[in-house]
Amino acid sequence: MELKKLTKIELMKLAVEKAIPNRSKLLKDELIKALQPYFGGKDTTASTDDNSLSATSKSKKTAVAPSSNIGYENKKPVTIFQIKKDEYPIPEYYNMDTLVILPVDPSKEYVYWELSDNTIYKVRQQYKLENAPIILKLYKQADDLSTDEISSVQVSRFGNWFFDIYAPSIVLWAELGFIDANGVFYSILKSNSIRMPADKVSPIIDDETWMTIGHNIDKLYGLSGLHKKDLGASQTMHKTILRQLTTVNAVSSSSFMKDK
Amino acid sequence: MNGYWMLVLHAHLPFVKHPDYDFFLEEQWLFEAITETYIPILMNMKKLENEGVYFRLTSSVTPPLAEMLSDPSLQKKYLTYLDRSIELADKELIRTKDDTTYQPVAMMYRERLEIIRSYYLKDLNSSVLNGYRYFQDKGNLEIITCGSTHGYLPLMNNYKAVRAQIELAAQTHEKHFGKRPEGIWLPECAYHSGLEDVLNDSGIKYFFIDTHGVLFSSPRPKYGSYAPVYTSAGVAAFARDYYSSKQVWSSKEGYPGDVYYRDFYRDIGYDLDYEYIKPYISPDGVRVFTGLKYHRITGEMDFKEVYQPEIAYQKTVSHAVHFVAEREKQVQEIAEIIDRSPLIVSPYDAELYGHWWFEGPDFLLNVFREMNKSDTVKPITPIEYLNEFPTNQIVDLNPSSWGDEGYYKVWLNTGNEWIYRHLHFMANSMVKIAEEYKDGTDSLKTRFLNQMARELMLCQASDWAFLVTTGTANEYSTARTKEHINNFLRLYTMVSDNHLDSKYLEKLENKNSIFQNINYKLFT
């Protein structure tokens, strides 16, 4: 059995079985693509459709090779048409345009994304961008509310990325788009905006605080634990304790839960 | 009187129920926590009450924990677990009868288990929640809620999904404790801007935040971490005190590492002859903890001395004396700087007391006894404090959590990032389909929609991402996450296609049976 050789009705049956979202809207090629994670096999659509973006981005990827954690590309199963043993298979992606940014800490941001086949097709038609790479950009809102691009990376059509941008208290968002031969960026998706967490005491002091606490504020914050290396690290502390309680490391896995 | 101490315990376990198995390893989490933490703490509160000691504490009982503690099949399984433990303790008395070194410890466990059993059946009437309700009614205990399944709120990226976690938590709290909660322990103490509005909508008056969540707020907090602040929504935030946490958990000043305290890992489930211990470990022959541990920490070497309960108990007294004296010093120092009574907030995972630190419940008992004698520091609950100090500074809090390094990375890193794509898709789909059926539908389809909501929420539990990071129950956590994603997508497909498999639904309703009264319209 080869997915490519099945009829659309047969594919749809499999799609129902595997709970592929939006399957009723998918074309045959899209169904095959969505089912591949469950049945393994090579990207058969790429060979039938050389202009499709998945093929393009793969060939381009080696040229730029920006990083090691660029999504799931390496995780695609190689064995052909072997049903996964997992009792609860889940899709790798949903074939829906998605771009989400989440803060991790004041100097780390997480982004994941996905471009649907439909969108890729439309964009290629509209902009006539054959072979154009997909680019993920990170923007910040500058003090004067203007927009600054702060990072840019070439990616594949779905995946995730951790940026290591130090941006405490700053508003950030991501955009995903194509870049043409002249380097012009065509933005397709814009993410949600986030304000990054702060990592230091605010410069803003209200008058009342100043009147009552005054210069003692430094002392007060010191007594609150400010500048302690392990401030905001209950988990680290608990781990230390666990090490003390631990003598036989080998058995720790069968005990339960918390070592926050 | 110069200041106040606020003890906050966070009692939580993820919803783990496997009705198809008589023995399931991860179900033991609950049984161990009941025997080692929840019951010993309740029994010590009873002691304080009998002695006429003034004591106040705040404890979350998270919705999944409350649902498990009131689940008849899990209650039954717990009793079986307890009876097996007692049977083993009996055999141990015989095995150690000529052994003057170990017999006293074996006897201590035998007596202790019998007392716990009798307390569980007679005083608690087979439900741990009865104990919590009792002390709530007496005014000693303020019970607070948490996210409905301990979902990691800052990473949900969907306002309605956050709102559903909070509102369902409030409803479930009311079901178990007779009134809607006034306070909440945010899952993983994780805060993000805007959360206060959701809390306010559900009638919640206060929450807790890590030290730097307040210290880095804007404008600068007038009292550092020594008084609560208000958010713009009027919901109060109490900051975790750095020093009292450190006192209990730090490697230098920390108490639980004392060499006379019980060693956690030397358990007879691993130490004794295989054939002898076989009936009391996992039925597949894998050695597990039995709860009977005969050694003290002793030191860093492998050799362990026998545990001596009386000496360990005396240690809890001296550690409690030290802890209270330190709080008095702290209060006096702060009182010189600020113009009101300082408040010290000490939150801990409840399970650290008793499960990890065996003597922890006795330490708390003695802390309250000591504090009862103090003229400087007095225990207080959040509502009592807010009634006495209704005026507080308004600030914008800083996004933070109580995880390693204080932000979100424990729950979002290269090991567990894959979860969020699915959680977001599910939450968005849930909101969409709830909207579609906002005017109601037939009873079968309603059940499908409600079960979708259960699967989504169970999947959202921050425990799975946490356990993947720590590597302690990685396989189980990954499997659970995938199970709920798969269940959700199948239900979603069935509803979308109008092809409803009611046998499949019933199976899920029985297994993932949390929140009997859930209503999918929470997501509209």
Distance between CA B349 and CA A258 in Å, rounded? Answer: 8
The pLDDT assigned to A42 comes to 42
Per DSSP, B295 falls in state: B
Check residue A239 and give its pLDDT.
53
For residues B450 and A21, the model is more confident at B450
Q: What is the pLDDT of residue B222?
A: 93
CA dihedral A122, A125, A131, A134 (to 10 degrees): -30
pLDDT at residue B474, rounded to an integer: 87
Q: Are A104 and A162 in contact (CB under 8 A)?
A: yes
Residues 6+ apart with CB under 8 A from A230: A236, A237, B246
Beta pairing class for A134-141 and A147-155 = antiparallel
Best probe of the A interface among B157, B265, B345, by most A CBs < 10 A, is B265
Q: What is the model's pLDDT at position A21?
A: 72
Residue ranges of domains in chain B, CATH in brackets: 3-70+127-262+307-405 (3.20.110.10), 414-523 (1.20.1430.10)
Residue of B331, B266, B332 whose CA lies nearest to B297:
B266
**3-class DSSP assignment, residue A104:** strand
A132, pLDDT greater than 80:
yes
d(CA B154, CA B409): 12
Q: Is B222 exposed, middle or buried (0-12, 13-18, 19+ CB in 10 A)?
A: buried
Task: Give the pair of three-digit tokens for residue A65.
Answer: 């090779």
Residues 56-75 of A with CB under 8 A from B: 69
- Cβ of residue A220 closer than 8 Å to a chain B Cβ: yes
Instruction: Look up the CATH architecture of domain A98-195.
Output: Sandwich (2.60)
Q: Is the pLDDT of residue A211 over 80?
A: no
Neighbouring C-beta atoms of residue B61, cutoff 10 Å: 29
State the pTM of this model.
0.86
Q: What is the DSSP string of A156-224?
A: -SEEEEEE----TT-EEEEEEEEE-TT--EEEEEE---EEPPP-S--S---HHHHHHHTTHHHHHHHHT
Q: Are strands B229-230 and B141-144 parallel, antiparallel or unpaired?
A: unpaired
Among the partner residues B226, B408, B425, nearest to A103 by beta-carbon distance? B408
Residue in B26, B302, B404 closest to A236 by CB = B404
Query: Domain-by-domain residue ranges, chain A?
Result: 3-75, 98-195, 207-254
pLDDT of the residue at A47: 34
User: For chain A, how far is it from start to end, CA to CA, in angstroms?
Assistant: 49
Mean pLDDT, contiguous 10-residue spans, chain B (524 residues): 93 94 91 97 98 98 98 96 97 96 97 98 97 98 98 98 98 98 97 98 98 95 96 97 84 82 93 95 90 93 94 97 96 93 96 94 98 97 97 96 92 97 98 97 97 98 93 89 98 96 96 96 97
The C-alpha of A156 sits at a distance from chain B's nearest C-alpha, in angstroms, of: 16
ipTM: 0.95
Q: Tell me how far apart the alpha carbons of residues B296 and A168 are, in angstroms, rounded to a whole number.
A: 46
CB within 8 Å of chain A, chain B residues 144-203: 154-155, 157, 193
